[in-house]
Amino acid sequence: MNPLPLDLQLLNACASLLLLLSFSMLAQRRVVNLVNLLALQGALLCFATVLVALRTGQAHLYLSAALTLALKVIGLPLLLHRLIRRLGVYWDAEPVINPSGTMLIGLLIVVFSFGLAQPLAALASTATRSTLGIAIAVILLAFLAMITRRKAMSQVVAFLSMENGLFFGAMSATYGMPMVVELGVALDVLVAMLVLGVFFFQIREQFDSLDLHHLESLKEVE
Amino acid sequence: MTPLDITTQLLQVLCALALAPAFLGWVNQCRAWLQNRAAPSVLQPYRGLRKLLIKESVLAENASSLFRFAPYIVFGTMVAAAAIIPSMGTGLPMSLAADGIALVGLLATARVFLSLAAMDVGTAFGTLGARREMMVGFLAEPALLMTLFVAAMISHTTSLPLIAAELTNRAPALYPSLAFTAVAFTMVLLAENARIPVDNPATHLELTMIHEAMLLEYSGRHLALMEWAAALKLFNYACIGFALFLPWGTSREAWGPAGLALAAPLLLLKLALAGGALALIETVSAKLRVFRAPEFLATAFLLAVLGLLVHLLLGD
C-alpha cells in the first residue's frame, strides 16, 4: 500500500488535531484557555487552507486563509480576551453534565458523525473528502459544548468553534465556499461578536452574572 | 524454529531480567539530576535487591500460602511477559503462544495476585492499596487494549512481533492515529507503573501510596522478587511502547546474528531516551489526588478511542 502524498498526510494530521482541540475545548473550564484553544484551532484551519490551496492552485483559498488568520487567529481572540478582562469572567461554572459524561457523549457524537460523513464523502470528488467526517464532528462537538456550558462567554467561544468546523467542512467537501459567501460569513461572525459583546454587558447589568440559566425563567419584573 | 530464534528468545529474557533494575536506576538518576539532587548510582536497585535477597524473610502469623506464593507468581508472569514482547528480535518462538491481548491478560493476572496478597494479611494499608490498584487497573486496561487494537488494525495482526515487523516495513508516514495512541499509552504506562501523576514511587506517606502500600507486609526475598517484578513491569511497558511506536532496529529473522548485534545497542539507546523522557514527565507534573486518577485514565481511554476512530475514518 502506497502512503498518501505528504500534503494530504499533513492535512489529515491537521484534521485529527482539530478534533483533539474540540475535545480539549469540551474539557477546558478556564475561559482564557478556551479562547487560546480557539485561536489555535483558527491557526490550524489557516494552515490546512494553505495546504489545500497549494494542492489545488485555487487563488481564492489563499485569500480565505489570510482572512482566517486575520479574523480567527488574531482579531476575535484579542477581542474576546479584552471582553474577559473587562467582564472579569475567568472561570466557567460547573458544566451541566459532568466532564467524563460529556467526553463519552462526545465520543458517541464522533462515531455518529463519521458514520454520517461516509455516504456524503463518497459523493464528493475532492482529494480532501476523507476529512469531512472530522468537520461534522467538530461542528456537533461545538454544539455539545454550547449545550453543556452555563456562561455566555464560553457559549460564544463554542459558537465560533462551530463556525470553524463549518469552514473546514466546506473546504473538505468542495474546496471552500465561493468568495462572496466566505466574506459574508466572516463579516457576519465579526458583527455577531460585536453585538454579543454588547449583550454580555446587558446580561451582566440585569442579572449581576453571565450565567445563562437566569434567562430561562420568565418572570414579570415589577 | 531455528537455533537463532531460540538464542534471541533466551537472550531477550535474560536481557530483560538483567536490565530492568538498571532501567529503574537510570530513571531515578535522571529524576535526581532534574531535581538538583545528588543522584544515586544506576546500580542502586541491584544493591537493594542483593541486600533483600540476603536478609531473612519474615511472614505475618496469619499469612496464608497465597501470601507466600504471590511473589513467585507475579515475578513469573512478568518474565513470561518479557518473553513475548519483541524488545530485541521479532522471531520469538514464545510469541506464537500468546498475542497482545494475552499479554494484557498476563499483566492482569499479576495485578490480581498482587492485590490478593496485599489483602491476605488483613492490614488496613494493604487493603487500601489493593483497592486503589484495582481501581487504576480496571480503568487503565481498556485504554491499553484500545492502544493495542489501533496498532493491530493498522498491521492486521494482534501478535506483537508481527505488529513491530509490519510497522517497520511500511514507508514512513504521518499516522495521527498512532500519535494519539502513543500519548494514551504513555498515560497508561505512568498509571500502571505507579509513576508520578497517579502514584509516587518514592513515597511512604500512608494516604497517597498505592503500589508501596501493597508491599508493606513483605520482607526479605519475597520483597526482592516483588521489587524486581515491579522493575520488570516498567521495562516491559517501555518495550511494548518501543514495539508499537518505535519498532525500528528490532532484529528480523532474515538479518541473522548481525541483526541481533545491532538490536542490543539500539535497545539500550531507546531505553536511555525513554528513561530520560519518563523522568522529565515525572518532574514537571504534580501528583494527582486519588479521586482525579479516573479522570486522567478516562482521558487516556478517550485518546485511544479517538486514535481508533481517526484510523477508521482516514484509513491510514
**Domain segments of chain A as ranges:** 6-213
Which of A25, A42, A156, A186 minimizes the C-alpha distance to A89? A156
Q: For A122-143, what is each residue's pLDDT tens digit? A: 887 777 778 899 999 999 999 9
Closest by Cβ to A13, choosing from B174, B295, B306: B174
Cα distances (Å, whole numbers) of residue A191 to A71, A72, A83, A158, A188 = 12, 13, 15, 16, 5
Cell of B261: 548485534
Q: Does residue A67 carry a pLDDT above 60?
A: yes
pLDDT of residue A58: 83
pLDDT of residue A178: 81
Spatial separation of the C-alpha atoms in residues B159 and B164, rounded to whole Å: 9
| Whether the Cβ atoms of residue A94 and residue A18 lie closer than 8 Å to each other | no
Which of B267, B244, B254 minimizes the C-alpha distance to B161? B244
A122 in reach of chain B (CB within 8 A): no
Q: What is the DSSP string of B28-51?
A: HHHHHHHTTSPPPPTTHHHHHHHH
Three-state SS for B207-273 is: CCCCHHHHCCCCCHHHHHHHHHHHHHHHHHHHHHHHHHHCCCCCECHHHCHHHHHHHHHHHHHHHHH
pLDDT of residue B288: 87
pLDDT of residue B23: 96
Q: Residue A199 CB: number of other CB atoms within 10 A?
A: 14
Say if the Cβ atoms of A114 and B315 lie within 8 Å: no
Say if the Cβ atoms of B171 and A3 lie within 8 Å: yes
Which of B202, B228, B208, B266 minimizes the C-alpha distance to B53? B228
pLDDT of residue A90: 80
Spatial separation of the C-alpha atoms in residues B92 and B96, rounded to whole Å: 7
Spatial separation of the C-alpha atoms in residues A152 and A163, rounded to whole Å: 17
Which of A145, A157, A156, A161 minimizes the C-alpha distance to A196? A156
Using CA coordinates, name the residue in chain B closest to A127: B314
Residues from chain B that touch A106, judged by Cβ atoms under 8 A, are 302
Using CA coordinates, name the residue in chain A closest to B309: A111
Side-chain-side CA neighbours of B287 within 13 Å: the count stands at 16
**Predicted structure pTM score:** 0.90
Q: Give CA angle at B145 (B139, B146), nearest 5°.
A: 95
What confidence category does residue A219 fall into, taking pLDDT thresholds of 50, 70 and 90? low
Q: Residue B98 CB: number of other CB atoms within 10 A?
A: 18
pLDDT of residue A220: 62
Q: Does residue A1 carry a pLDDT above 50?
A: no
Structurally, how many domains does chain B consist of? 1
Spatial separation of the C-alpha atoms in residues B79 and B279, rounded to whole Å: 24
Residues from chain B that touch A130, judged by Cβ atoms under 8 A, are 313-315
What confidence category does residue A2 fall into, taking pLDDT thresholds of 50, 70 and 90? low
Coil, strand or helix at B201: coil
Q: For A159-174, what is each residue's pLDDT tens digit? A: 899 989 988 988 888 8
Using CA coordinates, name the residue in chain B closest to A1: B170
Say if the Cβ atoms of B176 and A131 lie within 8 Å: no
Domain of B22 in residue numbering reads as 3-314
| pLDDT tens by residue, chain B, 316 residues | 788 888 889 989 999 999 999 999 999 999 999 999 999 999 999 999 999 999 999 998 889 999 999 999 999 999 999 999 998 888 888 888 889 999 999 999 999 999 999 999 888 889 999 999 999 999 999 999 999 999 999 999 999 988 988 888 887 788 889 999 999 999 999 999 988 888 887 777 767 788 888 998 999 999 999 999 999 999 999 999 999 998 887 777 677 788 888 888 899 999 999 999 999 999 999 888 888 888 899 999 999 999 999 998 887 6
Which of A52, A73, A69, A71 minimizes the C-alpha distance to A61? A52
Say if the Cβ atoms of B315 and A117 lie within 8 Å: no
Sign of CA dihedral A149, A170, A48, B247: positive
Q: A71-75, A202-206, B33-37, B283-287: lowest mean pLDDT where?
A: A202-206
What number is the ipTM of this complex?
0.83
Q: Give CA angle at A7 (A5, A10), nearest 5°.
A: 110
pLDDT of residue B8: 86
pLDDT of residue A221: 58
A20 in reach of chain B (CB within 8 A): yes
Closest by Cβ to B316, choosing from A10, A12, A100: A12
| Whether the Cβ atoms of residue B121 and residue B132 lie closer than 8 Å to each other | no
Q: What is the mean pLDDT of chain A?
A: 85
Residues from chain A that touch B305, judged by Cβ atoms under 8 A, are 107
